[in-house]
């Protein structure tokens, strides 16, 4: 069964860059028809889609975050990476990586999530 594990700093200072890695085991996120997505959830709030990197090489981002977000996939390492620049307290959230089935657009596997707090 596919497993996704997020990793990265749990505390980031305001104005700095948040960097997270999602490591994949027992499967693939980079072959057709899959996409590697990132989702976040601020404390006590709902799910927010951050963006995606697909097997086609295409990437799409939430318009509200597009100027600050980059998602990439390293197929050799079986990892997906998320970078969010110029973070503020509003970026404090649990961050999830997820595999999305392209064209049918559902998340069949999701990592356990990692809490990132933005604070000085």
Partner 1 sequence: QSVLTQPPSVSAAPGQRVTISCSGTNSDIGDHYVSWYQQFPGTAPKLLIYDNDNRPSGIPDRFSGSKSGTSATLGITGLQTGDEADYYCATWDNILIGMTFGGGTKLTVL
Binding site for partner 1 (CB under 8 A): 37, 39, 46-49, 51-52, 60-63, 96, 100-101, 104-108, 110-113
User: What is the enclosing helix (H) or strand (E) of 67?
Assistant: none
Secondary structure letter of residue 8 according to DSSP: S
Give least dist CB 120 to partner 1, A.
Answer: 26
Task: Give the bridge partners for 71, in sequence order.
Answer: 82
Question: Please, which residue, 93 or 100, has the CB nearer to partner 1?
Answer: 100
Give Cα 109 distance to the centre of its chain. 13
Give least dist CB 114 to partner 1, A.
Answer: 10
For residue 110, the SS3 value is strand
Question: Please, which residue, 16 or 107, has the CB nearer to partner 1?
Answer: 107
Question: Please, which residue, 60 or 85, has the CB nearer to partner 1?
Answer: 60
Give least dist CB 49 to partner 1, A.
Answer: 4
Q: Work out the end-to-end distance of the chain between its first and last CA atoms, rounded to an integer number of angstroms.
A: 39
């Amino acid at each position: 069964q596919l497993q996704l594990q997020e990793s990265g700093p749990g505390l980031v200072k305001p104005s700095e860059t948040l960097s997270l890695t999602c490591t994949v085991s027992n499967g693939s996120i980079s072959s057709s028809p899959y996409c590697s997505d990132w989702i976040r959830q601020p404390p006590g709030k709902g799910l927010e889609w951050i963006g995606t990197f697909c097997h086609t090489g295409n990437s799409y981002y939430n318009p509200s975050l597009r100027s600050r977000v980059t998602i990439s996939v390293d197929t050799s390492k079986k990892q997906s990476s998320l970078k969010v620049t110029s973070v503020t307290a509003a970026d404090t959230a649990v961050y999830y990586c997820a595999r999305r089935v392209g064209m049918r657009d559902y998340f069949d596997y999701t990592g356990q999530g990692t809490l990132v707090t933005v604070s000085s």
